[in-house]
Amino acid sequence: MLPGQQEGGRSVIFGWPSCQEKISNNDLDNLATCCSNIMASMLDVLWEDRDVRFDITAQQMKMRPGEVLIDCLDSIEDTKGNNGDRGRLLVTNLRIIWHSLALPRVNLSVGYNSIINITTRTANSKLRGQTEALYILTKSNNTRFEFIFTNVVPGSPRLFTSVIAVHRAYETSKMYRDLKLRGALIQNKQLRLLPREEVYDKINGVWNLSSDQGNLGTFFITNVRIVWHANMNESFNVSIPYLQIRSIRIRDSKFGLALVIESSQQTGGYVLGFKIDPMDKLQDAVKEINSLHKVYSANPIFGVDYEMEEKPQPLEELTVDQPPDDVEIEPDEQTDAFTAYFADGNKQQDREPMFSEELGIAVEKLKEGFTLQGLWEVMG
């Protein structure tokens, strides 16, 4: 069965020790050192499409490898947190970035994977008055944030079309980024290729060690991922993008030496084993996968393809140097950068005041299900 049982808090495809444990056989240790490559998964350090961040540094605003600028919209107001402040909205294949034109260090980054819903609603803008705006509801680290963006230039739907279309492209291209079990991967014994995907090698007679007997199948090695499927049942398969791979090793098992792939912690740390004979064929497969993984890491293919009719300027030309501040900002004040975006349903007016014995002052009555202690923990 894919995936296998739980072992030590991790999902395993077969019952081997974790990749961190040493193997007693010295010869096997040497072989594993020569024929495998342990790398930190890109996904473990990739935050741009997953996180909601406020007031990020100029370095964090730069495009990471594989991230491309799709659209740039000037005169966009952050109506929720900076109402009345004209800014610029950058739409990339991983996130949207907004920054104030007057003070670029006032900014935010919203990853597409954190977005729960995108809609258009009427909002009250200081620059446009009552107007249609883009509402984005997100969830990051178990906290919901709401963002409202208004195009200060009247009559332009580009704000809505760009963000909604690129987010849809992100949602429909998860096969590039997610480990997939039992997917619609194979058609007529051939891999269903993704756009920009190329098959570099096809290896027959590969055993998946997910059961006591193993399952005989076929390996596809491409520039984006590794795919295995059972010969007797094509729906029994697994797709492992290079983005998800944490380690590739040759390990010992009750079936003999085998290829072991460990996925990133973001996907539960799956451990998958494959038996390839003879030994030189196994070594060649490991070297080829490692080589393609390195090439992919240098310029990842995230699969979000969307082109605007009007090409935006390069980000370098749009970047504004942040002048040094001549005032010192108290650290406690920085909490306002994200508290302004807390999602509070369809609140139309302030709730009635009540006396807080904990604070010794009158405060707005908390929303049902919230406590002062919980809010302090979020802010901390």
pLDDT level of residue 320 (50, 70, 90 thresholds): low
How much is the pLDDT for 11?
43
How much is the pLDDT for 373?
74
Q: What is the mean pLDDT of residues 193-222?
A: 92
Residue 223 has pLDDT above 90, yes or no: yes
Q: What is the mean pLDDT of residues 299-311?
A: 83
* Mean per-residue pLDDT of the chain: 81
Rounded distance between C-alpha atoms, residue 375 and residue 366, angstroms = 10
Tell me which residue has tokens 């947190």: 81
How much is the pLDDT for 328?
47
CA dist list (Å): 315 to 86, 151, 217, 351? 19, 20, 46, 43
pLDDT level of residue 358 (50, 70, 90 thresholds): confident
Residue 128 has pLDDT above 60, yes or no: yes
How much is the pLDDT for 40?
52
Percent over 90 (pLDDT), the chain: 55
> Which residue in 260, 290, 239 sits closest to 17, CA to CA?
260
Given the DSSP bridges, would you call strands 237-241 and 215-222 parallel, antiparallel or unpaired?
A: unpaired
How much is the pLDDT for 61?
94
User: Lowest mean pLDDT: which of 18-22, 42-46, 132-136, 233-237?
Assistant: 18-22
Given the DSSP bridges, would you call strands 37-38 and 245-251 parallel, antiparallel or unpaired?
A: antiparallel
Instruction: Give the residue, 155 or 320, on which the prediction is more confident.
Output: 155
Instruction: Give the residue, 108 or 340, on which the prediction is more confident.
Output: 108
How much is the pLDDT for 5?
36
Number of helical (H) and strand (E) elements in the chain, helices listed first: 8, 23
Q: What is the mean pLDDT of residues 100-122?
A: 94
| Virtual torsion, Cα 338, 343, 344, 349, nearest 10 deg | 70
Instruction: Give the residue, 31 or 113, on which the prediction is more confident.
Output: 113
**Can you read off the two tokens belonging to residue 120?**
């258009």
pLDDT level of residue 309 (50, 70, 90 thresholds): low
Residue 120 has pLDDT above 90, yes or no: yes
How much is the pLDDT for 267?
81
User: Lowest mean pLDDT: which of 63-67, 154-158, 248-252?
Assistant: 154-158
**Residue 47 class from Cβ within 10 Å (0-12 exposed, 13-18 middle, 19+ buried)?**
middle
> Which residue in 1, 20, 21 sits closest to 11, CA to CA?
1
Rounded distance between C-alpha atoms, residue 53 and residue 50, angstroms = 10
Rounded distance between C-alpha atoms, residue 366 and residue 372, angstroms = 8
Residue 380 has pLDDT above 90, yes or no: no
pLDDT level of residue 335 (50, 70, 90 thresholds): very low
pLDDT level of residue 274 (50, 70, 90 thresholds): very high
How much is the pLDDT for 355?
82
Q: What is the mean pLDDT of residues 59-70?
A: 94
Residue 345 has pLDDT above 70, yes or no: no
- 332: which DSSP letter? G
Residue 9 has pLDDT above 50, yes or no: no
Q: What is the mean pLDDT of residues 244-267?
A: 88
CB 115 within 8 A of CB 136: yes
